[in-house]
Amino acid sequence: MTTNQLLDGFILKEQIDSKTKYTPKKIKQDLKEELFGDLFKDISNVKITSIKENVDDINRLMQTREVLKKELFDDIEQSKVEINGILAKVPIDATTMPAVTAEHLKLKQKLIDLEERKMQEKLNCWRDIALLKRELRENTREVQEKENSLGLLDKIIR
């Protein structure tokens, strides 16, 4: 190993410019900035990136939940249209047989059940999205706190 290789990374007295003043405090400050500044920034940036990815996932989950609700509502409406079509084909009057009347009542009950299912789905969707929004607010607040603490840490180090 040559002397030049051994001296790489060290400041030699001959290399110091007369205008540059390397005091022990300045060297210590530079070393601290170099060692800790980037390390803390990197760690914090990884955490912030991870939390931001969670925020994106939560937004996607909320959109997916809304799509699921819409699809279920469309299916319910399609079933209601089919049932109403059957009910319209077979009108009920005093001369209708009891078996037809019973089927007619079952179909009307099915319409009521479908409406109840629709209302329940609306409520479930609201609950799911409310929970996701709460998680979204927590993650957003955490990102802001991490970014603020990173800025404060940067000021302290520098």
Let me know: does 66 contact 129? Beta carbons within 8 Å. Answer: yes
Q: Is 91 within the bounds of a domain?
A: yes
Q: How far apart are CA 19 and CA 16, in angstroms?
A: 8
Measured from the Cβ of residue 58, the count of other Cβ atoms closer than 10 Å reads 20
CATH number at residue 119: 1.10.287
Q: For residue 87, what are the CA distances in angstroms to 63, 103, 112, 113, 115?
A: 36, 9, 14, 16, 17
Lookup: tokens for 101 = 């009347």
pTM over 0.75: no
Give the pLDDT band of residue 23 (cuts 50, 70, 90): low
pLDDT at 136 exceeding the cut of 90? yes
Q: Is 5 within the bounds of a domain?
A: no
Q: Is 65 within the bounds of a domain?
A: yes
Lookup: tokens for 105 = 């009542």
Q: Is 11 within the bounds of a domain?
A: no
Average pLDDT over residues 4-22: 51
Q: Which domain holds residue 92?
A: 23-157
**Over the stretch 84-103, which tens digit does the pLDDT of each residue have?**
999 888 777 766 788 888 88
Lookup: tokens for 73 = 């509502």
Percent of the chain with pLDDT over 70: 68
Q: Could you tell me the end-to-end alpha-carbon distance of the chain, in angstroms, rounded to an integer?
A: 36
pLDDT at 39 exceeding the cut of 90? no
Q: Is 10 within the bounds of a domain?
A: no
pLDDT at 156 exceeding the cut of 60? yes
Length of the chain: 158
Q: Is 6 within the bounds of a domain?
A: no
**Average pLDDT, whole number, for the chain?**
80
3-state secondary structure of 135: helix
Give the pLDDT band of residue 66 (cuts 50, 70, 90): very high
Domain count, the chain: 1
Higher pLDDT, 123 or 143: 123
Lookup: tokens for 69 = 């609700």
